[in-house]
Amino acid sequence: MDKLIYTAMTGAKELFGRQAAVAHNLANAVTTGFRAEEHRLRAVPVVSQALPTRAFAVEASVADDFTPGPLTQTGRTLDVAVQGQGWIALAMPDGSEAYTRNGHLEVNVNGVLQTHSGVPVQGDGGPISIPPDNEITISKDGVISLKSSSGAQNVVTQVGTIKVANPPEAELVRGADGLFRLRDGSAAPADPNVQVAPGFLESSNVNAVDQLVAMISLQRQYETQLKLLSTAEQN
């Protein structure tokens, strides 16, 4: 009886966490490059001086869905999408490296190439600086070329290469800022096999229909936990 009561009680509690994850996924169904999140539960026995029949439902793991999302053509010069597996590397303020699939880039007032949220993009030698009054072109291998809009307009200059990496997905963890990092905090090496699609953005890989069905299913599971508690009380 203890096992039924404690499993149902903690199961109902943990279902709130899963419901919050589903709501978070739905809220980011249109966020560029977003990766869906999934919470998994399991029952474990309580090892203590208490009764050995007690078991808790706990969160076993938080999994991320790394399935690539569909690409949408924008035609914007500074929009890039990673094709297939891979990540765009970002230079964090603390000197570490983070990874994103959101290739909606811009140039700040200091001429530094950065994400829409203000994080500099990692180049082959650090953050990439782009002089003003230039036409920007990004190739499939991430090379950024400039052509002056005045003066010698036929001269093309390469100013840097966007670092793209393909670290093992099992080693990636999502931070509170939504960016991914390697579990040990190191920087992944650049992967020349990863290519980007200039003028495209990757949409979220969240399937809104699946998430809505999951939300209904979680609500039914929660009701089941409450019924089990009621049954245990009657017994």
pLDDT tens figures, 207-234: 999 999 999 998 998 888 889 888 888 8
> 214 with 22: CB under 8 angstroms?
yes
Average confidence (pLDDT) over 128-139: 89
Neighbouring CB atoms inside 10 A of 14's CB total: 20
Q: What is the pLDDT confidence band of residue 11, given thresholds at 50, 70 and 90?
A: confident
* Closest alpha carbon to 69 in 214, 201, 208, 179: 201
Q: What is the pLDDT confidence band of residue 59, given thresholds at 50, 70 and 90?
A: low
Contacts 24+ apart (CB under 8 A), 16-22: 16/222, 17/59, 18/218, 19/215, 19/218, 19/219, 19/222, 21/62, 22/211, 22/214, 22/215, 22/218
Average pLDDT, the chain: 87
Per-residue pLDDT of 66-98, as tens digits, reads 999 999 999 999 999 999 999 999 999 998 999
* Secondary structure (3-state) at 219: helix
- Give the per-residue pLDDT at 92: 93
**CA-atom Rg of the chain in angstroms:** 24
Residues, the chain: 235
Per-residue pLDDT of 108-119, as tens digits, reads 999 999 999 999
Phi-psi region of 75 (alpha: psi -120 to 50; beta: other; left: phi over 0): left
pLDDT over 90 for what percent of the chain? Answer: 56
pTM for the predicted model, two decimal places: 0.81
d(CA 76, CA 80): 9
Residue 25 parent element (H or E): helix 2-27
In the structure encoding, which two tokens stand for residue 94, read together? 């603390």
Average confidence (pLDDT) over 11-28: 86
